[in-house]
A and B are shown apart, each in its own frame.
Chain A
Amino acid sequence: MLRNYLKTALRNLLRNPLYTLINIVGLTIGITCSLLILIFIKHEFSFDRFHENKDNLHRVVFEMVTPEGRTISPQMTAPVGPYMVEAFPEVVRSVRFSFREDGYFSYQEKAYREEGLFYADSSLFQMFSFELLSGDPNTALAEPYSVVLSKETAMRIFGENDPLGETVRWNNRDDLIVTGVVKAPPANSHLQFSSLISFSSRYEDRRYYMDWNGGMQYYHYLELVPEADDAALEEKFPDFMYENINRLYESHGVSINASLQPIEKIHLRSGFVGEIGPTGSMANIYIYAAIAIFVLFIACINFMNLTTAMATKRAKEVGMRKVFGAARTSLIRQFLGESIVMSMIGLVISLILIEILLPVFGSMASRQLELYQWSNMDLVLGIPILVLLVGILAGSYPAFYLSAFKPVSVLKGLFKGQKSFSGVRNSLVLIQFAISIVLIICTLVIYAQLGFIRSKDMGFKHDNIVILNFTSESFKQNYEELKDALSGIPDVVSSSATSQVPGGGFTSNGYRPEGYDRAIMFNKVAVDFDYIRTLGLQVTSGRDFSEDFSTDREAYLINEALARQLDWQDPVGKTIYRGKDHMVIGVVKDFHFAPVHQEIGPLIFDMNPNLGYDHLLVRFRTSSLGGLISDIQKAWRQIDPNEPFEYHFMDEVFGAAYKTEQRMSSMLLYFAILAILIACMGLFGLALFNTEQRTREIGVRKVFGSSVSGVMFLISSKFSRWVLLANILAWPVAYLIVRQYMQMYAYKINLPVWIFFLAAAGVYLIAIITISLQSYRAGITNPGDALRYE
């Protein structure tokens, strides 16, 4: 019997190649998109699950409450972790991480660039399941100035030789003994590091403040005893925090609350201020999941529509099978089987496509995605079930519809044009187009918003600026020499040393402004005398830093946002306390130093970089970049030939801040195009079928004088009504989604109504073109042929 079903199914498919093609292509696109997204979602949920100890591992998260508001961050001062181990019997051990550093190792007078280095405690290899390839996991990071190199770095520096016991120099400052080699963390670890320096080294370096009330820059991870009650432990945190830090801040109205975050939740449920690395987000997961479901659903609708439309061609088969003894259930099984076979064909093609597309999709999503790996076994085994479900979803309606044919009706030819079913088909087309329109509107709004951000006046000139990064002391101490050398290059307009590059936001500190009895958190950037000029900022009152005033090294510039926040009408001459009083000598016009999502915050410019300046911003005026860069490099080499020369353009830095949105919008665009494509294929199929069904009617109409355009109108009008109705359904949904999305931005476009109309017009046009292809053919058919055919 099965063979009989299969034969009939295959012959039916081959007899109607166009419908088959539309169905299979639609299902293939649907299955491919949803599998790609499923692999991505699976990857996102797999983060940090590889640690053997994962159930006992937590990160400490801190909520800082100030009179101005609250911020949540995983960063805190250095003593927290070890103090918690001391204070709570439930805490077995802790590991601290510094923030990420980029720099270079030198070995035997050669420099090796290193990106993503961290300082970490020695308990790291006992707590986490990172693989130490050589060295003792208990002691590798114990002694100050020991380093565990990444496998890749060890290979670069030492080749096949054993690096253990060798000495390398970090940023031309610290000599480190190599005590281990570590394998790169798996792609699904939120902790991504290259080499690791022992955290104890920080205590040896007098530049770092390692006590409770300063240097909020460390990440704390705890291992709890297996039977620990997380909630009960958290209840003890307020007393602990008060005892150690909050009592110092109490008078300022500031308190810091600690809480535990299970390690598996860090990747998707964080996005706090000062994350240790890029995180994912549940919002993205929901968006992608919705897209996957939508695209698959659209493909299933196509299948349902075309199959039920084609049903009249199979009515005789159904009727005869019933006459000769087929029960309805056996027919349902037959038709479900057919749709499952179709989706299986779709799956086979999808698996080939996924092999090709997964790397592309992975790079768009900034993830290393793989399907065939051990941790994806459940997914791989689950795929046939998914396809089975798709087959059942797509095939159930046609199966019930077809199997319901009464043999008597078939014999009488009464199955044609069953109105209730064509109503269902039209409703399904309506849903397809509504989904496509929602996707298009969302994509267009994201594009418009990104365009707005890109073209938004940032308040300073960020083009034609090269950023040079200082890693070693030689530059931090001798940056003025470099500036002098650069000033000799004709195309260099000016240069300025700074602690942080604008674009990603600045660090913040507590300051006590004149007239206030408590400290307030303000953003801060350390600059030199040429900063305002180099960035093209404007001083709106007072004056810029000047070498003519020896006291300026202790003075502050503030931005307008800060003056507004403090309600200072005339800030020049007022003082701000941090260690001592600092005089405000000028107010700088607001500019976007953080991504445009955020409102411009209060900012202090000072001339005191705690650990020296980290960057030099060089403004230039040439189009011959090659010559300029090589001139800058020559000047660089004069200061320190060993430090690797690294440069970026500020425009790139700004672009990077919007990478996530750009990625999201291009993905959305691709998926929206695919959704429309599938929907249009379905529409084309239906139009084709409709035309075939109405061949005789068209012939008769033409005999009695209808023109080609009249026939086209006849066929198109029916579908255009549904496409227009789809807009009415889609607009409110799209509006709600878009409004939610826009809340992410402090500066945003006014919700553009034209986008709604553009999406409507676009979809309508595409639909009409699709239908017209078919209706034109019907229109130009010789009426005699049409009637003879019938």
Chain B
Amino acid sequence: MIQTKELIKVFRTDEVETTALNKVDMDVKSGEFVAVMGPSGCGKSTLLNIIGLLDNPTGGELYFDGAEVSKFKERQRTNIRKGNIGFVFQSFNLIDELTVYENVELPLLYLNVSGSERKQKVNEVLDRMKISHRKKHFPQQLSGGQQQRVAIARAVVAKPKLILADEPTGNLDSANGEEVMNLLTELNKEGTTIIMVTHSPSDAEKAHRIIQLFDGHIVTENIKKIL
């Protein structure tokens, strides 16, 4: 589903040039659950952003479902992102001005899903995430765990093929973290491909394989389980 060939990302300022990714080759099959680990600044989030088409690489190739997308313009990237990729962030990134229901509804709005269908899908996913009773609340009125459940609901409501999770449990206590990981595992079992950046070895254990990044290189690909 996702393939990178010699992926390079360089950040430049006036005086400093930082290579965040240095010729990264990786391959993620459909239905896989991959954890990306490594020390701070090793390029994990950069890799996730590029795979999520939020950013373009400086060099190399990126294939999404067989199509080379690394040179795509913003509009083309947006079109692929819509409906195909869901995102979960460490700091949840819910829109403060929107209610739980409206936050979850957002991806469907950009997919031009009809009102009745939206309502049905949002309610379904909120039920599944056990957060329906909070649907009229604003993000600040929820606990961290609840906020992350909403963020996951938002990520999966459009039934994307791929979920990218950037330290999804980083801001949660262990109980809530456990719950979020169970949700992700469940989604993966249902067929959703998941790439997750994490610092937590126990969370990484839940993945099929763990990729170790160091200074922009992949240092180990620990294949834990075979599909």
From B45, B55, B82, B96, contact of A325 by CB (8 A)? B82
**Residue ID in chain B nearest A5 by CB atoms:** B109
Contacts of B81 in A (CB 8 A): 323-325
Q: A326 contacts the other chain (Cβ, under 8 Å)?
A: yes
Q: Beta-carbon contacts of A317-340 to B below 8 Å, as 1s and 0s?
A: 101111111111010000000000
B78 within 8 A of A: yes
Question: A1 touching B109 by the CB < 8 A rule?
Answer: yes
Specify the main secondary structure of chain B where it touches its partner: helix
Contacts of B105 in A (CB 8 A): 4
Q: Is B98 an interface residue (CB 8 A)?
A: yes
Q: Is B74 an interface residue (CB 8 A)?
A: yes
* Chain A positions within 8 Å of B107 at CB level: 324-325
- Which of chain A's residues have a CB closer than 8 A to the CB of B106? 4, 320-321, 324
Contact in complex: A325, B111 (CB < 8 Å)? yes
CB closest chain-A residue, reference B112: A1
Identify A319's interface contact among B75, B83, B93, CB under 8 A: B93
Specify which chain A residues have a CB less than 8 angstroms from the CB of B95 in the assembled complex: 8, 316-317, 320-321
Tell me, rounded to whole Å, the shortest Cβ–Cβ distance linking B138 to chain A.
Answer: 8
Count of chain A residues with Cβ under 8 Å from any Cβ of B?
A: 24
Interfacial chain B residues near A321, Cβ < 8 Å: 95, 106, 110
Question: Which of B54, B74, B87 is packed against the most chain A CB atoms within 10 Å?
Answer: B54
Q: Could you tell me if A4 and B102 are in contact, using CB atoms closer than 8 angstroms?
A: yes
Q: Mark A392-421, 1 if CB is under 8 A from B, else 0.
A: 000000000000001110010000000000
Chain A residues 1-49 with CB under 8 Å of chain B are 1, 4, 7-8, 11-12, 15
Contact in complex: B97, A11 (CB < 8 Å): yes
Docked CA distance A321–B111 (Å)? 12
Return chain A residues, CB-CB under 8 Å to B93. Answer: 316, 319-320, 323, 411
Question: When the two chains form the complex, which single residue of B55, B74, B82, B97 contacts A15, counting CB atoms closer than 8 Å?
Answer: B97
Q: Is B89 an interface residue (CB 8 A)?
A: yes
Name B136-155 residues within 8 Å CB distance of A. 154
Looking across the interface, which residue of chain A has its beta carbon closest to that of B52?
A: A323
- Kindly state the separation between the CA atoms of A8 and B98 in the bound complex, as whole angstroms: 6
Partner of B78, one of A317, A320, A322, A411: A322
Asked if residues B54 and A4 are in contact (CB atoms below 8 Å), the reply is: no
In the assembled complex, the Cα of A4 lies from the Cα of B55 at a distance in Å of 26
B30 contacts A by Cβ under 8 Å: no
Residue B132, interface by CB 8 Å: no
> A4-B105, A330-B110 are contacts. A323–B87 as well, Cβ < 8 Å?
yes
Q: Residues of A contacting B94 with CB < 8 Å? A: 320
In the bound complex, CA of A8 to CA of B106 (Å)? 12
Q: Interface SS of chain A: helix, strand, loop or mixed?
A: helix
- The residues of B that contact A11 with a CB separation of less than 8 Å are 97-98
Q: Is B49 an interface residue (CB 8 A)?
A: yes
Q: Is the CB of A408 within 8 A of B109?
A: no
Q: How far is the CA of A407 from the CA of B56 in the complex (A)?
A: 12
B75 touches A327 (CB 8 A): yes
Q: Is the CB of B110 within 8 A of A411?
A: no
> What A residues does B110 contact at CB under 8 A?
321, 324-326, 330
Whether A411 contacts B49 by the Cβ 8 Å rule is yes
Across-interface contacts of A406 in B (CB, < 8 A): 54-55
User: Which residues of A have CB within 8 Å of B75?
Assistant: 327-328
Residues of B within 8 A of A4 (CB): 98, 102, 105-106, 109
Contact between B154 and A7 (Cβ–Cβ < 8 Å)?
A: no
The complex places the Cα of A287 from the Cα of B195 at a distance, in Å, of 65
Instruction: Check B78–A326 contact: CB distance below 8 A.
Output: yes
A407 to B52 Cα, complex, angstroms? 11
CB distance from B191 to the nearest CB of A (A): 21
| Contact A408/B55 with A317-B97, A319-B93, A326-B110 known, Cβ cut-off 8 Å | yes
- Give the nearest-CB partner of A316 in chain B: B93
> Which residues of A sit under 8 angstroms from B54, Cβ to Cβ?
323, 406-408, 411
Chain B residues whose CB sits within 8 angstroms of the CB of A408 once the complex forms: 49, 54-55
Question: Are A7 and B102 in contact, with the CB atoms below 8 A?
Answer: yes
**Which of B74, B81, B82, B106 gathers most chain A CB within 10 Å?**
B106
Closest to A9 in B: B97
Using known A-B contacts A320-B106, A408-B54, A411-B49, determine if residue A327 contacts B78 with beta carbons closer than 8 Å: yes
Q: C-beta contact mask, A236-278 vs B, less than 8 Å → 1, else 0?
A: 0000000000000000000000000000000000000000000
Q: Interface 1/0s, chain A 748-770, versus B by CB < 8 A? A: 00000000000000000000000
- What residue of chain A has the Cβ atom nearest to residue B83's Cβ? A325
Best-surrounded residue of A317, A324, A326, A408 (most CB of chain B within 10 A):
A324
Q: How far is the CB of A20 from chain B (nearest CB, A)?
A: 13
Looking at the assembled complex, report how far the CB atom of A15 sits from the nearest CB atom of chain B, in whole angstroms. 7
For the complex, give the distance between the alpha carbons of A327 and B74 in Å.
Answer: 8
B71 to chain A, nearest CB (A): 17
Which of A1, A15, A327, A411 contacts B89 (CB under 8 A)?
A: A411
The CA of A15 and the CA of B54, in the complex, are separated in Å by: 29
Could you tell me the distance in whole angstroms from the C-beta of B193 to the nearest C-beta in chain A?
17
Interface flags, A270-304, vs B, CB<8A=1, else 0: 00000000000000000000000000000000000
> CB-CB < 8 A to A1: which residues of B?
109
A608 to chain B, nearest CB (A): 85
Cα A319 to Cα B102 with chains together (Å): 16
A323 to B81, CA, bound (A): 7
Residues of chain B within 8 A of A319, CB atoms compared: 93
Chain B residues lying within 8 Å of A15, measured Cβ to Cβ, are 96-97
Which of chain A's residues have a CB closer than 8 A to the CB of B45? 411
Residues of B within 8 A of A407 (CB): 54
Minimal beta-carbon separation of A124 from chain B (angstroms):
67
User: Within 8 Å CB of A324, what residues of B?
Assistant: 81-82, 87, 106-107, 110, 154
Minimum Cβ distance to chain B for residue A8 (Å): 5
What is the CA–CA distance of A723 and B103 in the complex, to the nearest angstrom? 43
- Tell me the smallest distance from the CB of A114 to a CB of chain B, in Å: 68
The residues of A that contact B109 with a CB separation of less than 8 Å are 1, 4
Question: A1 to B109, alpha carbons, bound, how many Å?
Answer: 6
A512: shortest Cβ distance to chain B, in Å?
A: 86
Of chain A, the residue at the smallest CB distance from B111 is A325
Min CB distance, B60 to chain A, in Å?
Answer: 17
**Docked CA distance A11–B106 (Å):** 16
Interface string of B45-83 (1 = CB under 8 A from A): 100010010110000000000000000001100100111
Query: How far, in angstroms, from A11 to B103 measured CA to CA in the complex?
Result: 14
CB contacts (< 8 Å) of B111 on chain A: these are 325
Q: In the complex, how many angstroms separate the beta carbon of B101 from the nearest chain A beta carbon?
A: 11
Residues A325 and B89 in contact, CB atoms below 8 Å apart: no
CB distance from A646 to the nearest CB of B (A): 69
Which chain B residues lie closer than 8 Å to A411 at the CB level? 45, 49, 54, 89, 93
Q: With the chains together, A53 CA to B30 CA distance in Å?
A: 82
Complex alpha-carbon distance, A319 and B83, angstroms:
17
Question: What are the residues of chain A within 8 A of B74 when measuring CB–CB?
Answer: 328
**CB within 8 Å for A325 and B98 given contacts A330-B110, A407-B54, A408-B55:** no
Known: A323-B87, A325-B82, A328-B74. A12 touches B97 (CB 8 A): yes
Per the bound structure, the CA–CA distance linking A411 and B48 in Å amounts to: 12
Q: How far is the CB of B13 from chain A (nearest CB, A)?
A: 11
A323 to B88, CA, bound (A): 11
- Report the minimal beta-carbon distance from B46 to chain A, rounded to whole angstroms: 9
Docked CA distance A327–B81 (Å): 11
C-alpha gap A404/B89 in the complex (Å): 21
- Quick check: A8 and B97 within 8 Å, CB to CB? yes
Q: How far is the CA of A645 from the CA of B106 in the complex (A)?
A: 81
Q: Most B CB atoms within 10 A — which of A325, A330, A408, A411? A: A325
User: Within 8 Å CB of A323, what residues of B?
Assistant: 52, 54, 81, 87, 93
A324 to B98 Cα, complex, angstroms: 14
Provide the bound-state CA to CA distance between A325 and B160, in Å.
12
What are 6 A-B residue pairs whose CB atoms fall within 8 Å in the complex? A8-B97, A317-B97, A320-B93, A320-B94, A323-B54, A328-B74
19 further A-B contacts with Cβ under 8 Å, apart from A325-B83, A325-B107, A408-B49, are: A1-B109, A4-B102, A7-B102, A317-B95, A319-B93, A321-B95, A322-B78, A323-B52, A323-B54, A324-B81, A324-B110, A324-B154, A325-B78, A325-B82, A325-B111, A328-B75, A411-B45, A411-B89, A411-B93
